[in-house]
Amino acid sequence: MNLDKIAKSVRKRIFEFKTRSRAGHLASCLSCVDVLVSLYYDEGTVFNHEEDVFIFSKGHGSPTVYPILVDLGYIDKSELDKYCTPEGMLKLHADHTIPGCHFVGGSLGNGIGYAAGLAHGSKKDVYVMLGDAELYEGSVWETLIFTAHHNINNLNIIVDRNWMGILGKTEDLLKLEPLEEKFKSFGFETCTVDGHNFEELREVFSKKCDKPRVIIADTVKGKGVSYMEDVWQYHTIIPKEEELLKKAMEELS
Amino acid sequence: MTSQRDTFISNLFERAKLDKDICLISVDMGAPSLDIWREELPEQFFAAGISEQNAINFAAGLSASGKKVYVYFMACWVARCFEQIRYSCAMAGNPITVLGNSVGLGYTPAGPAHNPTEDIAYMRSLCGIEIYSPANNAVVKELVNLTCEEPKLRYIRFERSFPQELESFYLNSAVDSDFLNKGSHILTYDAGSGGEMSVCIFSSGYMLGRALQVAKRLESQGIDACVVDFFRVKPATLSNPRDYDHDLIVTLEEQTLPAGFGSSICEAFVDAGVKRNILRIGLPEKYIFENGSREHLLNTNGLSVETIYEKIINKL
């Protein structure tokens, strides 16, 4: 299975429905594509989309999963064309009314606690993705204390560490580092991986853990579209000019 | 007399022994009734520490996995996790039961941070939530049955203390699911003394004690008066609004007035298309920093029996 090719295809489709609808958070979605592709497509990982649960605590990144849900047959391909239109079911923030999605999105710092409860109550393996700037929410740290204490080891916390908030670099705005040490000190099995390297992602997602764990996926915001990569203004800007659209499509094809 | 909180938790404990899906999350709150639960059912108990937001989010996730979840904390902190109740429970469709201990000025003299005096207003704004404000342990016990058997997002407002005489008003009533479904209960009918004027006082929880005293005072002046317990604050339903044909409907609450219980009664009459003369009585719109007992602070903040009586007379 050519994961690079799949990731490109996912990015391309995200770029298409985001630029067509002009409905938000394109760069935030692009940063976490490879993590999702690793989980949903790489047979070397233990994630099973039919049995396990993936939750976006980072709700604004949730449209990343839409092309994947099309590929896996949860939703019809035509839904991507109807993204954020009255005729369509796919929204800017995924919610539990969409097949293959499990929780409402849009309020940061809450999906992680919900995921912890679901993991504990259902005994299923639950994967929850947080944005790094979401870590500023105090509720996240409430849940971390709770999860570590109760050893909810079927909860896998993934941080999409793209180093950016809306206003710029996290380390310039409000320091988060040393992040790995913070999670470790809370009692988590913690590792940092290149969030765009399928070998590294497979290594970490190929095993379960007897402790609750945090996987920091080091990523690039806007990944895959060269002029968007690591440019904080693209949190809100969606490329519009013909030239930019063409360039992006070339890079993603 | 057993507190409402302990009545609820000890009755829930009996059900939890038979139903492993029942879970209780305490946000660092103790109760005599909780000690045995912690000892005997540790798998169904979670100490969340002082973390209301996580407690609600975790509860929502547990609920999604099929558990019947109760979160217990001081009622004042529902404001602190309002977003989580809205987002993870109301919006996402996870029916948990929020147990808020000590409403109104119940934690006096702890000051306004501990005394929720607007919680009816903000909690009733949540889509689909039911709010109960019991004045009586029979109702509290039946609420245990209701919440176990018909999961729904609910907020139960426990009184820390409540006038003992209220217990006697329910002795002749079968407090069962039908009773709860009605949402309100007439505590005293007017004496039918043929007085020229008639008043009906709607209230709930602790304030019912004052409502009964005011009604007695009104009766003594030849004014017919009855008292209705709205133990279900939301939805506040008037089974037959036209039956309340009194000269004055009074709503009495230990809350500030904007969007509170009185407002919900006004809405119920308006929505039913029934015009009534309504007087809303509650706390002044301010945070109360004075020292003193609950009784004292009610008296100094416009809710003494005499002041309530005078407000009613003036309106009549």
Q: For tokens 């929502």, what's the residue?
A: B60
- Nearest 5°: CA angle at B145, between B143 and B148? 105
CA distance B3 to B306: 28
User: A184 to chain B, minimum CA–CA distance in Å?
Assistant: 20
Residues in chain A with CB shorter than 8 Å from the CB of B48 are 146
A151 reaches B (C-beta below 8 A): no
CA distance B215 to B196: 15
Residue-range domains of chain B with CATH: 4-158 (3.40.50.970), 184-315 (3.40.50.920)
pLDDT in tens, B105-157: 999 999 999 999 999 999 999 999 999 999 989 999 999 999 999 999 999 99
Set of chain B residues whose Cβ sits within 8 Å of the Cβ of A150:
46
Using an 8 Å CB-CB cutoff, list chain A residues near B51.
139, 142, 145-146
Answer yes or no: do A114 and B46 touch at CB < 8 A.
Answer: no
* Short-list A221, A230, A220, A225, CA closest to A251: A225
What's the pTM value of the predicted model, to 2 decimals? 0.95
3-state DSSP percent of chain A in helix, strand and coil, to 5: 45, 15, 40
Mapping DSSP onto H, E and C, the string for A132-176 reads CHHHHCHHHHHHHHHHHHCCCCCEEEEEEECCEECCEEHHHHCCC
Residue B119's Cα: distance from chain center in Å?
A: 10
* A131 to chain B, closest Cα gap in Å: 18
Tens of pLDDT, residue by residue over B16-31, are: 999 999 999 999 999 9
Q: Report the C-alpha gap between B119 and B144 in whole angstroms.
A: 22
d(CA A8, CA A27): 14
Q: Which amino acid is at A250?
A: E
Q: Where do runs of H (alpha helix) occur along A42-96?
A: 65-71, 78-81
Q: What stretches of B221-281 show up as alpha helix (H) in DSSP?
A: 261-272
Rounded CA separation A46/A53 (Å): 12
Angle among Cα A121, A122, A126 to the nearest 5 degrees reads 105
Residues of B in contact with A109 (CB under 8 A): 53
Torsion B50-B53-B59-B62 (CA) sign: negative
What domains are there in chain A, each with its CATH number? Answer: 3-252 (3.40.50.970)
Measure Cα distances from B264 to A158, B178, B205, B276 in Å. Answer: 44, 22, 16, 14
Average pLDDT over residues B47-57: 97
Q: Which residue has the tokens 């820390």?
A: B160
> Which pair of tokens denotes residue A101?
């999605």
Over the stretch A219-252, which tens digit does the pLDDT of each residue have? 999 999 999 999 999 988 999 999 999 999 999 9
ipTM of the complex: 0.94
Q: Determine the distance in angstroms separating the CA of A107 from the nearest CA of chain B, rounded to an integer.
A: 7
Q: What digits encode the pLDDT tens for the residues A95-104?
A: 999 999 999 9
Say whether A107 and B49 touch across the interface (CB within 8 A): no
Q: What own/partner pairs with CB < 8 Å and gap ≥ 24 does B142-150 have?
A: B142/B175, B142/B176, B142/B177, B142/B179, B142/B180, B143/B8, B143/B180, B144/B8, B144/B11, B144/B12, B144/B15, B145/B177, B146/B177, B146/B180, B147/B68, B147/B70, B147/B97, B148/B12, B148/B15, B148/B19, B148/B22, B148/B68, B149/B177
Closest CA to B312 of B251, B242, B236: B251
pLDDT tens track for A1-42? 899 999 999 999 999 999 999 988 999 999 999 999 999 999
